[in-house]
Each structure stands twice: as C-alpha cells, then as structure tokens.
Amino acid sequence: MTPVTITAAATGATAEILPELGFNCYSFRVQRGGEPIELLWAAEGFREGGERPSGSGIPILFPFPGRIGQGRFRYGGREYSLEVEEGREHALHGFAYTRPWRVLERASDRVTAQFTASIDDPTILDRWPADFQITASYRIEQEELVLDIKLENPGQTSCPWGLGLHPYFRVPIDSAAGDGRAGRAAECELQVPVAKAWELDAMLPTGKILAATEIEGMRGEDLRTGVTLGDRHLDDVFTGVEFVDGVATSRLRDPQSGHAIAVRFDDTFRECVLYTPDTREAVCIEPYTCVPDAYALAERGIETESIGTGLRLLEPGQSVEAWMRVGLA
C-alpha cells in the first residue's frame, strides 16, 4: 500500500495516512530537541497490510463503533446480518475502516478522502438500512493533527448511524527504543473527563450505568483527576463525558520524558472507550457517538431510560460534522 505523507513546513510535524486501508493515519511525529516524537502506535508491518485494520493508528469506525452482538440487529422491522471476523463472536466497528477510500484533495499539509457505500462497496447496502457517505480530512496545524469528519446521507431513506475513532497512542512518549519501555509505560498517567461507565457482560452493554470508579480496572480511582497506567487492563465504555465549551480534553502523560499527549474532541461524541492493548505499548482513547450494540439496547427500551444509547438518524440530504485534535500538550 502507498501512504500519503503530509507535513507542516513551519514545524516539521509529519503524518502518514493509508487511504487504501480505511484512511487510517498510522503515524504522527512532532519535533522536540531535534528528535522526532511519535505520538501514534502501529504494529510492525501495518502499512504493508499485514496487521489487523482495527489494531493500529487511527481506525475510523462507521456506521457503527464497537460491537453488535452476534453480528445481527433489527431496524425498521427487518433483521440485518453483518460481517463477523473469523474467530470473533460479534460484528466489530462498521465497514469503513477495512476498505479503500477515494482521495478527493491533497496538499502538502492536508489530505481529504471519502467513502460512499453505494459507490465504493455496494454490497454493504444488503447489510445496512441505507446508503451513507463519510468524508474525512487530516491536516496539520503547527504541531497538532486535526481530523475533521462529515457524515452524509446520499440515499432516499433514513440512515441509522454511529461514529467512533480508535486512536492508538504510543507509551512511553519519547524518541527512545529498546529495553525498559514496558516499565516506563506503566508509569504513564491517564486523565479523561468521564464520570460514568456502561456495565458490560461479555463485552456488550447491559444497559446499566455505573460510576466510572466502579469499573474493575479503575480500582476506585477517578479518571477525571488522573490515574497511573500500572498493570491495569481497560476495555471499557465510559460515558458522562464532561465538555467545556463543547470540547472534551484528555491527557496521556509520560512523567519521565515530561511529554504529554492532549486529545480533544467535540460534543458530537458522547461516549469514550478506554483500551489498554496487551502489548502495553499503547493506550486507546476512543470517542464514540453512541454506545456499542445500541440497537439491542434500544429494542429493550433502554433508549428511553437513563441517558439513552446515542442512536441517531441521518435523513436524506442531511449531514453531521465532528472533529478530533491530537498534539503534545
């Protein structure tokens, strides 16, 4: 696969994106003291297509983020059957992250691409209630990577949707390599403005909302004030995201190097998944617009209770925009 490279001339910040694999930005580097600091994590061989599309960089999850139980859901009185990866029980993360996108525009510091179900893979129309179009643009502003997304319904019927972003942030945050990185990763600190969490059973939400401190991996600690990664394992869906002027800000800090990554997203999103891969080389801070398996919860009436599931519709001709920004704090 051939990556697209964009660079901010004034700062030397550089990003690499794979339009052929879900328009995934798998590398973002900024300069500090003459050394490149990589903020994103990707498995070796990812750019050659030899690794899971959802396991590196910034997978864009659409038209549903997270899991849909057994790969089946009901909408409008009809049951839909989705793709389920070999060895998995549930459908995962939509269609857009595994497929080639069309590059629409490209400049030295930005690139825009698009995926339309009816154009780029019409077979999707047999497995989703309506056509959809997602347009994404990566650009570098000074030393910050900006991802802008526009969702549209080019069809004639209502389109249910959910959007998620799944960035893998590298820990520890420095330019070094070699021994001792796992220990240093454990020293890194995570701060995320979330107050609540969805109870999960076999990785699917039950519909019950808990305090974020009640999740097993939190040990009673509060993400809003910050926690040390240590040996904790997270793969949890948090909610009750706290926004300031429509923006939520999370931070991942490496106390030894002194570097910190700031992750900002707008209030189109309402959930935040936190995931610590088994490699212990990355941490995922994932904004979602809805809870995973939202259709099953809505069918049980959860949509009308508590905070709802976040399920939304795009009507024909309608559009929605969202964004995420990543940089050193």
The residue behind tokens 């998944």 is 273
**pTM, full prediction:** 0.96
The whole-number pLDDT of residue 308 equals 82
**How many CA atoms are closer than 13 Å to the CA of 159, on its beta-carbon side?**
30
> Looking at residue 179, what is its pLDDT?
59
What is the set of domains in the chain, with CATH numbers?
A: 4-328 (2.70.98.10)
Q: Which pLDDT value is given to residue 135?
A: 98
Phi-psi domain of 122 (left: phi exceeds 0; alpha: psi -120 through 50; beta: other): alpha
174-225 confidence digits (pLDDT tens)? 877 655 676 799 999 999 999 999 999 999 999 999 999 999 999 899 999 9
pLDDT tens figures, 223-267: 999 999 999 999 999 999 999 999 999 999 999 999 999 999 999
With a cut of 90, say whether residue 304 has pLDDT above it: no
Strand locations in 212-315, DSSP E?
Answer: 227-228, 235-241, 247-253, 260-266, 271-275, 282-288, 312-314
Helix (H) or strand (E) run with residue 181 in it? helix 181-187
- Closest alpha carbon to 229 in 185, 273, 263, 192: 185
